[in-house]
Amino acid sequence: MATNRTFTMIKPDAVEKGHIGGILGMIADAGFKIVSLKLTQLTVADAQAFYAVHSARPFYGELVEFMSRGPIVAAILEKENAVEEFRTLIGATNPADAAEGTIRKKYATSIGENAVHGSDSDENAAIESTFHFAVREQF
Ligand code: DAT
Ligand code: MG
């Protein structure tokens, strides 16, 4: 996968509240091209595996329960310097610290239920994209 791609999820809280369109609109307005897109739901085992890096953290159980409780939107996005640009667009993990104009400032409700995921490195973007999309789905 090219290094100008990143992976995102619109998390269950934002899907439940009807924010798929609003968030995809912010992503498009920021100049990202959607190259893969699906509405899906993580099983508990999927969420445990996706967030395995956080398995020793005190919030892991809560995170897994939250991420598997309802549908999510998974997407691969393309833009120059995609990983860093997208982290800027989503804002800080805790919406209380998120800058004006960011997705989390607008749509997140708490540090745990923070509306969107964004990969933190090119390597993780590739791993996370492959977790959700077959090669033939990565356009
Ligand atoms: P990010 O999603 O900004 O990359 P992260 O990788 O540190 O943040 O954590 C992954 C997710 O875990 C995060 O989006 C929400 C949850 N999380 C992180 N820190 C938390 C905390 N202190 N309390 C509850 N949930 C937390
Ligand atoms: Mg992270």
Task: Chunk the chain into consecutive blocks of 10 residues (it has 139) and report each block's average pLDDT, rounded to whole numbers.
Answer: 84 98 98 98 98 98 98 98 98 98 98 98 97 96
**Closest-approaching ligand to the CA atom of 61:** 1
> Within 10 Å of residue 26's Cβ, how many Cβ atoms?
19
- Look up residue 68 and give its two tokens: 């598997």
The predicted structure's pLDDT at residue 3? 60
- Within 8 A by CB and 6+ apart from 14, the residues are 20, 23, 107, 108, 115, 116
Which residue among 111, 119, 120, 121 is best mutated to probe the pocket of ligand 1, counting the most ligand atoms within 8 A of its Cβ? 111
Q: How far is the CA of 66 from the centre of ligand 1 (A)?
A: 12
- For residue 112 and ligand 1, the question of a CB distance below 6 A is answered with yes
Whole-number Å distance between alpha carbons of 125 and 117: 11
Q: Which CATH number fits domain 5-137: 3.40.50.1360, 2.40.30.110, 3.30.70.141, 3.40.50.1370?
A: 3.30.70.141
Query: Is residue 54 annotated as a catalytic residue, yes or no?
Result: no
Q: What is the ipTM for the molecules in this complex?
A: 0.98
**Runs of H (alpha helix) within 36-121:** 44-50, 60-67, 82-90, 103-107
Tokens 């395995």, located at residue: 52
The closest alpha carbon to 108, from 119, 87, 94, belongs to: 94
> What are the residue boundaries of the structural domains of the chain, listed by start?
5-137
Ligand 1 center–CA 113 separation, angstroms:
9
- Could you tell me the pTM of the whole model? 0.97
